[in-house]
Amino acid sequence: MKIMKVEGNHKLSGTIKISGAKNSSVALLPASLLADTDVTICNVPEITDTDVLCETLEYLGADVRRASESVVITPTIENKVIPQELTKKLRASYYFMGALLGKYKHVEIYLPGGCSIGKRPIDLHLKGFEALGATITNDDEGKYVVDAKELKGANIYLDIASVGATINIMLAAVLANGKTIIDNAAKEPEIVNIATYLNNMGAKITGAGTSEIRITGVEKLHGCYHEVIPDRIETGTYLIIGALVGENLKVFNVIPEHVEALTSKLQEMGVNITIGSDSIVVSSKESYKPVNIKTMVYPGFATDLQQPFSVLAARCNGKMKVEETIWENRFMHLPELEKLGMKVERTGMVATFTGPNKLKGAEVKATDLRAGAALVAAALAAEGETTITDVEHILRGYEGIVEKLTDVGAKIKIEEI
């Protein structure tokens, strides 16, 4: 098991480069199977989630060549059952359903149940596949078999603007016969990044980034070159760290509009940030005005930043309310933050923090990816040393986090125990 040791209360100055977006990459890699010839994807972050997907592509027979931050894929595969030992490592393996159904009209995949932050149902994904003409069976070991004689375009309304369902239906529809409309589609920037990738392959998708996406099926798709957009959640995480311990901390390779909900909250609190065209500079202060947040679908406040953001309550005079509306179990970091000295009460889906708090190092546990990010932020602001266990969660989604933080002055290291 890996643990992280952080000696807190050091000012961080210098520059952090943001990597490619995890939540784009985990869809772009499976989507590569839709092309008939080689694809090259640049700016793919080297994190365990992308490692698992590259391993799955190779398991299926594709040739995957990785060179620093780009991946070249020759998508020739034999379509076969994707086993649970691969899919249990990563929820986003479900994108292989849309890609393999779209390309081969058949997919067999073991999908794990919910993961720590919630049940993680895929009913909307399956409803979309059925609307396109697929039949689905799944046994009680979690094996799904999705089959279609023909995929025909359809009008699909999503009860929830689900990121995963929107992307998975796009993947299944690009080679279908006829037109598909996805109504109440998710509008996250990652959706636009996937749609651009598919259009670069020769797909005909319009409306990505709006709540109505139109797809006209084409005969086949060819290889292409594509770039992953910067990770807006990684960006937000480092901005929050900068608000806690930064001194002219510059975060670059950023798309500022993708983190607007966060930066406007930070400015409302009195955080000192300067927003450039592709970078943001942030410096910390001793105390801020408390604000309330409510997580929403994009462009609202991102649920993935809810946990790291809540650490700022330690610098606020008064109460901060944090309401989570997307995931039913995204408060597992609260007891860990209390060990570091934060004061919080939870009622239902609202956590109310009372600051200010003097954070002191302790031993804490990362329960999930973004909870782990919150603990790193709190540890950097705490007096003394903090040990974070189960850091594998953190390494799933933050490329080079120890190197990036060390380069700007943090005292942070990972040990194998």
Applying CB under 6 A, the residues found at the interface with ligand EPZ are: 22-23, 26, 92, 118, 120-125, 160, 162-165, 186, 233, 303-304, 326-327, 369-370, 397
Q: Which helix (H) or strand (E) holds 337?
A: helix 334-339
Closest CB 220 distance from ligand EPZ, rounded Å = 27
How many angstroms separate the CA atoms of 394 and 401, rounded? Answer: 9
Closest CB 120 distance from ligand EPZ, rounded Å = 6
173 vs 186, beta carbon nearer ligand EPZ? 186
Q: Which helix (H) or strand (E) holds 275?
A: strand 272-275
* Residues 203/224, Cβ–Cβ less than 8 Å: no
Residues forming the active site: 115
Residue whose pair of structure tokens reads 């299944």 in the numeric block: 172
Kind of pairing, strands 39-42 and 70-74? antiparallel
Q: What is the DSSP letter of 203?
A: -
Name the region of 97 (left: φ>0; alpha: ψ -120 to 50; beta: rest): alpha
Closest CB 331 distance from ligand EPZ, rounded Å = 14
14 vs 118, beta carbon nearer ligand EPZ? 118
Structure tokens at 17: 């480069």
Closest CB 322 distance from ligand EPZ, rounded Å = 15
165 vs 201, beta carbon nearer ligand EPZ? 165
Cα separation of the two ends of the chain: 6
Q: Supply the DSSP string of 48-101, one letter for each residue.
A: HHHHHHHHHHHHTT-EEEEETTEEEEE------PBPHHHHTT-GGGGHHHHHHH
In Å, the largest CA–CA distance within the chain is 63
172 vs 382, beta carbon nearer ligand EPZ? 172
259 vs 359, beta carbon nearer ligand EPZ? 259
Alpha-carbon 167 to chain mean position: 13
Alpha-carbon 342 to chain mean position: 26
- Cα–Cα distances in angstroms (integers) from residue 128 to residues 99, 172, 173, in the given order: 13, 9, 9
113 vs 118, beta carbon nearer ligand EPZ? 118
Closest CB 118 distance from ligand EPZ, rounded Å = 5
Bridge partner residues of 4 (DSSP):
388, 414
Closest CB 337 distance from ligand EPZ, rounded Å = 17
Q: What are phi and psi of 19, to 5 degrees?
A: -90, 175
